[in-house]
Amino acid sequence: MRTRFTLLRAVLWAAVTSLACNTAFAMRAHQDCRDPSVFQGADVNIVVLPYVSTGNPSPVLNELGQRLALLIKLDAFAHVLDYGSLGATQMEVTPGADVDTCIPQVVIPKLLGQVPGASILTPKGKGLIIVWGVLYEEGDDIILQSYVRFVRQDTSESIGFQVAQYQFSAQPSSQVVAFTPRALKKSLLAQVEASYRRADLVHKEPRDDSEGQPLPHPVAKCIACAGELTPGYEVIEKKGEWIHVRWMIPGSERQSDGWIHAAGSFAGESLDSVLPELHFIQGCVGYLMQRIAEARQSRLSKALAAEAIGELRQYQVASESSDKTTSAVALELSGIIQLLQNGEDEDLITAQKSFDAALTLVPYDPDAATLASLTQVRVLWRTKNSIPSPLPIADRLTNAAALSLNTKAAVENLRNYLQLLLSAPPSVEYEKMPREAIRERLEVLAKVRVPPS
């Protein structure tokens, strides 16, 4: 079991595996929202925007929001190091800048290259997870609500299914999720500040009583890349609650190193126990890593796949009663990871259970219905070479075609499903759905006008 790091340090920035730079992990400090960037060599980048006060703008809450963004980014980063090729960035409103420079509507289009303004764009096919949130006061409480968007640059999250000679496609219900608002006591402000000050040291030895100094910045991003002065640190090793880092001293080729105490708490508890959405973020990293591996005709190791699924399920269990839509997406991402493992019967059946559970939470969602239906078709055809009771699946795929924003793909799924049914030997008779009724549905479907995608 890996050591849980809850407050690594409020200025650690990113972890990246880079063969060109010969680094295992690199980390860097506060990034101005007016010049957003990611790590180009990372397969997945996590970018956390500052949480901002809403309602009556509060400078105190905005300052808390910047510290929360740092802590959230660091906690997520600490739990996903095993995946390897990662970047994590905490964005910040610099003194004198407008808070609107850090809202997702401004930053995300820059990082995806849809508008100019980012110094380093998300590379094609690589993953990006954006986290942001709002804060407001309600009596003695501070209400916090988080949001996440996940995307692969210029790449659809659609997943392909093949059954016999027919192709199908499905996708998660959403790539943008809103989490349940959390009520935090105002005493949290002093506790966050105390944790922030305690973590702001690099020690000579992995002991709190050893000599320490504030984390230096800027430093070179890459130990082996002379002249590159993006702030960054390389993680050399972990020892219990401590991590050993090194960095290039700016303006020289000399290195320095030290130890950071990674232990900490958030109001006396681990951060992910207070904010279960961290489990979602950490599992989402595994999901994107699985999709990127799939594009390379590979897959995550079973251990990493299990780790990602475990994080998503922890979120789902913690939040299902209050957050059905996002819990459904967590189940769908878990199912897709499982589906993209070896594709064995056990993987298919486990994935089907996740998709069925998601559909129970959001029974009218067309994407949830499609994932559950197509996986069921694949399992049945693989085990029985037939669909004994095809009508419920046909009706779900018909409803999905009526409700889906991607009408073309939904209609194609329904058409191929009906043709699959007819491809069975003539001796096969379907319960409550004679072949003539299937042909009639296909004739009606042929008259449907599908808008171009």
Regarding the domain delimited by 276-446, which CATH topology (the fold level of the hierarchy) does it fall under?
A: 1.25.40
| pLDDT attached to residue 88 | 81
Residue 2 confidence (pLDDT) above 50: no
Specify whether the backbone of 34 is left (phi greater than 0), alpha (psi in -120 to 50) or beta.
Answer: alpha
Its pTM stands at 0.87
Match 């559909």 to its residue by tokens: 359
Q: Binning pLDDT at 50, 70 and 90, where does residue 240 land? A: low
| pLDDT attached to residue 156 | 95
Q: Which of 26-30, 66-70, 157-161 has the highest mean pLDDT?
A: 157-161
Q: What is the mean pLDDT of residues 426-442?
A: 91
* Residue with more model confidence, 215 or 38: 38
Residue 55 confidence (pLDDT) above 80: no
Q: What is the mean pLDDT of residues 118-129?
A: 91
Q: How far apart are CA 366 and CA 43, in angstroms?
A: 30
| pLDDT attached to residue 221 | 42
Instruction: Encode pLDDT of 254-301 as tens digits.
Output: 888 888 766 555 656 777 888 899 999 999 999 999 999 999 999 999
| pLDDT attached to residue 271 | 79
Residue 230 confidence (pLDDT) above 90: no
Q: Binning pLDDT at 50, 70 and 90, where does residue 20 land? A: very low
Of 159-163, 194-198, 261-265, least confident by mean pLDDT is 261-265
| pLDDT attached to residue 140 | 86
Residue 28 confidence (pLDDT) above 60: no
Q: What is the mean pLDDT of residues 197-201?
A: 67
| pLDDT attached to residue 15 | 34
Residue 252 confidence (pLDDT) above 90: no
Q: Binning pLDDT at 50, 70 and 90, where does residue 231 land? A: low
For the chain, domain boundaries: 26-140+186-267, 276-446
Instruction: Please report, as a single letter, which amino acid is at residue 362.
Output: V
Q: Binning pLDDT at 50, 70 and 90, where does residue 233 land? A: low
Residue 319 confidence (pLDDT) above 90: no
| pLDDT attached to residue 95 | 83
Instruction: Encode pLDDT of 99-123 as tens digits.
Output: 889 999 999 999 999 999 988 888 9
| pLDDT attached to residue 241 | 63
